[in-house]
Structure 1
Amino acid sequence: MISYNLLLLINVLLLLLSSLTKNKAFLYVALFTSLLFFGFRFEVGADWYNYVRKFYLADNLNYIDYLETSDFGFANISYLLHYIFGNYQSLVFLMSLLSLFGVYYLIGVQKASPAIFFLVAYPYLIVVVGPNYIRQGAAVGLLCLSFAFAFNKKNKSAMLAALFAILFHASAVVGFIILFFSMYRVNFKKVVYILIITLIGIVVLGPRIVSKLDFYVNDFSNQSTGIYFRIILYSIPFFLVLLNNKFFSRDDVESRVIKFSMLLFMVISGVSIINTVIADRLLIYTIPAQALLASRVVSDMKSTINALLVSMFIFIFSIVQLNSWLEYSLWAKIAWIPYNNVIILDLL
């Protein structure tokens, strides 16, 4: 538990220094520190051995057959790394790099508070999703990269990064939708109506849709026991918008990313009625918007005291969320604690 908390504190300090000094060198050091921590992790994550098994299927399968074992992008990279290095640790490092680089690149591009963004993203997106759902972690990283490109008006690069994200995990189409509606002006009220109708359709027709997706549903047959708790947690950053009266009057790409993520959050929360695991996985794509919103709310506060109070609340909440999961989650005790790192193990 100490190692995860220590990484959090180191990153917060480095990102605060980056913000105060306007020097991105501290941001790069923060990325490097996290990459050392997660990129060289060993036997960390509940799906660790499952991915190890899939990686070494390349010993017995030809290229075409191996592509059928996973999403196109992930399968290609996995097969290539197996051919070049023959070591699963190479895949762990590359997936961590894709995941973390995208998150930190977005932290550097967004104009608000880097430390607040990190505190919102760290307990679940960085600690849980990245090391465990490694395909989805890479997909979220690529989507963060696409958002950052869009903020800098690099629309072609943004679309390309989002499409690559889908190649790593098909569910990343949710992030692609957020990006598309944010980059290209669409009547916001019409989108609201469409999403409301979609939500009603999901609730009414959902069971029939699920019955036609036997493979996908059976693959996620175990229900997510923490989904409703996480829905409550995910809602908190969005409620922070109430502290920012100017938010809904803004119409820049970043604001639209947050707005459409809020709408999709409500729709996906409705999906939990049908299948909690599917909803749990899709809600992951709203975390970057939560972090962006919390960061912007704090930076927009005119009162320094209020900004400090809200920042302290987010800091304490992040630590409580992280340690509650590490302390009480069975999966955390099985697959995250103790933390192992190949560099440390080699030195020993």
Structure 2
Amino acid sequence: MIPYWLLWSFFFLGVILSQRQAQPQVAGQAPDISAPRLSIGMSVGLILLTVMIGFRYQVGGDWLNYEEIFKRSAFRTFDQTLLQSDPGYALLNWASQQLGYDVWLVNLVCGLLTVWGIFALARREPQPWLSLLIAVPYLIVVVGMGYTRQAAALGLVMVGLASLLNNGSVARMVLWTAVGALFHKSAVICLPLVAFTGDRRKIIDLALLASSALGLYTLFLQDSVDRLFRNYIEARYSSSGAAIRISMSLLPAVVFLAFQRRLGLNENEAKLWRNFSLVAIVATVALFLSPSSTAVDRIALYLLPLQFIILARIPGTLLTRNFGNLLIAAYTAAVLYIWLNFAANAHGWLPYRIWFNA
């Protein structure tokens, strides 16, 4: 457990050391995204996150499955690789085999994509260190180290979300989502979440969004719907802890809907996180109505950015900065502690092993 707590401690220290430099947030005022955010300390932190994800060894509940995917890729041609279910991930495995590397290179690239996406959104926030700290227990440790393909897809979706918020380009959001879908088809479900986030008069953007969502669905998901329905719905698959994980997104959703005017979000940000919040509530209801908690749980993974955006804005707006930072830090510590000690499949993460000492 020690490596995970050291990782948490690094970012908690970053929060403490950086909070004096954080500027007060004014309600309705957009964060200053032009200010330099990538300090030496944060650079070290991002490298540390990527290394811990990429160079882990036999860590994660699906480690054996990913290792088997990597081994099978050695027997495929380039053309056969492109026909695989998730061609981006398959191509990455195939390229690693051709270069003579092991599965750590695949994990490293996927980890880099995940961390890149988190930072792309976190750097826009008034307290990026706090956003990264919130991401550590679940988004980094659980998803980044356990759901390799979907974590990479989510990372690319987050890059698209950051691009959308920075310059309002729906086209770039669609492009990044399409690239993410090459790693995990489910990424296409994120496109409807950005509807109505910009100027409602931008009919071209809305038409592009609708047509892209339909096109990506047809390209990546249509052939898999029957299989997904059989695997998740008819088989009534259940994910242990799904209720807890979805409730983690429900909490910031409720905070946003109750206090959105006080969180310092600009109009487009408020519209985007409103959509995420509403879907989080729908996912909570669906969890109790759907015969498969796994299906809802996997979709809810794309709501995770809501946590490190909304919760990180509570200090300095709803609470004093110092007290709020300590409260949010305590919450993240509790999440990490409960996961490591009580999660049904936490044994897949313990002990943490690094590749070169395996």
Q: What TM-score results when the alignment is normalised by the length of structure 1?
A: 0.82
Alignment equivalent of 1:75, drawn from 90, 94, 99: 90
Q: Please give the alpha-carbon distance, in whole angstroms, between the structure 1 residues aligned to 2:53 and 2:341.
A: 20
State the match for 2:5 in structure 1.
Answer: 5
Alignment equivalent of 1:236, drawn from 241, 251, 268: 251
> Does residue 152 of structure 2 align to residue 138 of structure 1?
yes
Question: Aligned-pair distance for 1:44?
Answer: 0.7
1:214-254 deviations in Å (ceiling 9; x for gaps)? 42144444311211222222221223236736259965222
1:93-135 deviations in Å (ceiling 9; x for gaps)? 1111111111122211x23222332233222111111111111
- Letter of the 1:85 partner, please give it: G
Paired-residue identity, %: 26
* 3-state SS, counterpart of residue 32 of structure 1: helix
> Does residue 182 of structure 2 align to residue 167 of structure 1?
yes
Is the 2:262–2:317 Cα contact (8 Å) retained in structure 1? no
State the match for 1:123 in structure 2.
Answer: 137
Q: Please give the alpha-carbon distance, in whole angstroms, between the structure 1 residues aligned to 2:147 and 2:249.
A: 18
* Structure 2 gap segments, 5+ residues each: 22-35, 203-223
Q: Please give the alpha-carbon distance, in whole angstroms, between the structure 1 residues aligned to 2:72 and 2:242.
A: 32
Q: Please give the alpha-carbon distance, in whole angstroms, between the structure 2 residues aligned to 1:77 and 1:309.
A: 44
Is the 1:18–1:24 Cα contact (8 Å) retained in structure 2? no
1:150-175 deviations in Å (ceiling 9; x for gaps)? 22106243332122112221211222
* 3-state SS, counterpart of residue 152 of structure 1: helix
User: What count of residue pairs does the alignment treat as equivalent?
Assistant: 317
> Does residue 350 of structure 2 align to residue 337 of structure 1?
yes
Alignment of 1:1-348 (within 5 A): 1-17=1-17, 20-21=20-21, 24-25=38-39, 26-108=41-123, 110-153=124-167, 155=169, 156-183=171-198, 185=200, 213-220=225-232, 221=235, 222-241=237-256, 244=259, 246-247=261-262, 252-272=267-287, 273-274=289-290, 275-301=292-318, 304=320, 307-333=321-347, 335-343=348-356, 345=357
Q: Please give the alpha-carbon distance, in whole angstroms, between the structure 1 residues aligned to 2:283 and 2:7.
A: 31
Q: Please give the alpha-carbon distance, in whole angstroms, between the structure 1 residues aligned to 2:201 and 2:273.
A: 15
CA RMSD, 1 decimal = 2.7
Is the 1:143–1:165 Cα contact (8 Å) retained in structure 2? yes
* Structure 1 gap segments, 5+ residues each: 188-211
Q: Which has the higher helix share?
A: 1
Classify 1:294/1:216 alpha carbon distance in 2 versus 1 (closer, same or farther; 3 Å).
same
Classify 1:186/1:231 alpha carbon distance in 2 versus 1 (closer, same or farther; 3 Å).
farther
- Letter of the 1:132 partner, please give it: G
Question: Aligned-pair distance for 1:177?
Answer: 2.0
Classify 1:219/1:85 alpha carbon distance in 2 versus 1 (closer, same or farther; 3 Å).
farther
